[in-house]
Amino acid sequence: MMRSPVFAANWKMHHGPTAAAAFMRTFLARHEPSTDRRVMFFPPALTLHAVLEAVRDRPDILAGVQNIHTEEKGAFTGESSAAIAHDAGARLVLVGHSERRHVFGETDDATAKKCELAVRHDLIPVLCVGEKLEEREAGDTERIVSRQLRAGLSRLQRAQIAAMLIAYEPVWAIGTGRTATPADASAVHTRIREDLRAIAGDQGADVPILYGGSVKWDNVRALLDAPGIDGVLVGGASLDAEGWAAIVGA
């Protein structure tokens, strides 16, 4: 089945509310409402309100947060819960991004808890999976990705899995300028799809699987043309409004 391609922008720790408002004015002037693709923004938490205000009349564009805590509430200074994210207007949440895993020590068990909390509070989880360079060179890519995927989905029911997204982001290709070839990415996406079918049956057949890792204007078309790649999760190349509009228009 053909799925509308997904274009997701992860701003990481860039663009405060003022910069985001200016970005959105430029981007929205260049991206007309469209039903043949889905656009998502993951701004910093303190910038979420500026993005939501900008897209208030654009239901074709969704916004989410980059992280939630593993607990419902409590004495966790500096953290945000799924409930708070939803109340603030977020529709989605990134879970298990490589920087959360490898900079902040997020575990597979934590990703499972976060996915469970996300769906409990009507947030759509975007579960990120991917291998490090040494794991790829050791031939462990599919084993690592499969382990992360199955762990992250372990607390969800099939219908809940059907409503989420998966992002494959090889750690060695994030922010390095190195990109998995379309064929390499497609092979991993095929394995992810097989695992989704094994876990969720037919309800895993249409879960969008995005590719993330140094996606740019000059490679996005080839990636989207590769079998099994349903969209892209973009970091650095999503920070320029005109450049992001060009990628979304690919």
Residues recognised as catalytic: 97, 169
Alpha carbon separation from 188 to 49, 54, 56, 125, 174 (Å, rounded): 35, 36, 36, 20, 16
Q: What is d(CA 12, CA 111) in angstroms, rounded to the nearest whole number?
A: 18
Q: What is the CA radius of gyration of the chain?
A: 17
CB atoms within 10 A of CB 149: 24
Give 43-92 as a DSSP string. Answer: --GGGHHHHHHHTTT-TTEEEEES---SSSSSS-TT---HHHHHHTT--E
Q: Which residues contact 240 (CB under 8 A, 6 or more apart)?
A: none
Give 151-189 as a DSSP string. Answer: HHTTT--HHHHHTSEEEE--GGGSSSS----HHHHHHHH
Q: What is d(CA 6, CA 231) in angstroms, rounded to the nearest whole number?
A: 4
